[in-house]
Homo-oligomer: A and B are copies of this chain.
Amino acid sequence: MIIPLPCPFDKVFPSQLKKDELFFMQLAYNQAIDAWKEDEVPIGAIIEFKGEVIAADHNRTVQTKDPTAHAEMLVITEAAKAIGDWRLNEARLFVTKEPCPMCSGASIMARLGHVFYATKDPKMGCLGGAFSLQGLPKLNHMLTATGGVYEAECTALLQAFFKGKRIELPM
């Protein structure tokens, strides 16, 4: 029987007194830890709207068997439901890894105000890494993005997960 390695990282508890980019990214990081505990790739996401968290989730592709169940997709759906509008112009997405082609595209289609991400992804990231989808010339929404927020911690989490190290128990 193969069981996942217990997550060796602890959640962080940022002060509520300073709700800056680091604060929201740390909440996304906590979501990523929850993902690991469910044996999902540890990527977490938060959507902030007018200073409040209106959506929080993490990757669920394994448990749902749904390739679209990335953290970013889930919080975009959740945020639109929370405010009753599919246009999220005033909302900001915080995600622990640079969004893939699908999630970068979703951020544009949802008209998100800004995307902050931690770990850069030169292979699949489409908000600056492998490509900049937000730079396509004829989009009807101008998305901006910032990488590198809480990067070391989110990257360490991902790397530890992929180093893999499942424990094989005799069964």
- A residues contacting B by CB (< 8 A) are 61, 65-68, 70, 73, 76-77, 80-81, 84-88, 100-106, 108-111, 122-124, 126, 130-131, 133, 136-139
Q: Are B65 and A86 in contact (CB under 8 A)?
A: yes
Copies in the complex: 2
Q: Are A65 and B88 in contact (CB under 8 A)?
A: no
Q: Are A106 and B110 in contact (CB under 8 A)?
A: no
Q: A68-B73, A80-B66 are in contact. Are A138 and B124 (CB under 8 A)?
A: yes
Interface centre among A73, A88, A105, A138 (most CB of B within 10 A): A105
> Which residues on B sit within 8 Å (CB–CB) of A133?
101, 126, 131, 133
- A66-B86, A102-B105 given; 20 more Cβ-contact pairs under 8 Å: A65-B81, A65-B84, A65-B86, A67-B106, A67-B110, A67-B111, A68-B77, A68-B110, A101-B101, A101-B105, A101-B126, A101-B133, A102-B109, A103-B105, A104-B105, A105-B126, A123-B139, A124-B136, A124-B139, A130-B136
Complex Cα distance, B40 from A22, in Å, reads 39
Q: Are A67 and B101 in contact (CB under 8 A)?
A: no
Q: Are A80 and B65 in contact (CB under 8 A)?
A: yes
> Which residues on B sit within 8 Å (CB–CB) of A67?
76, 80, 86-88, 106, 109-111
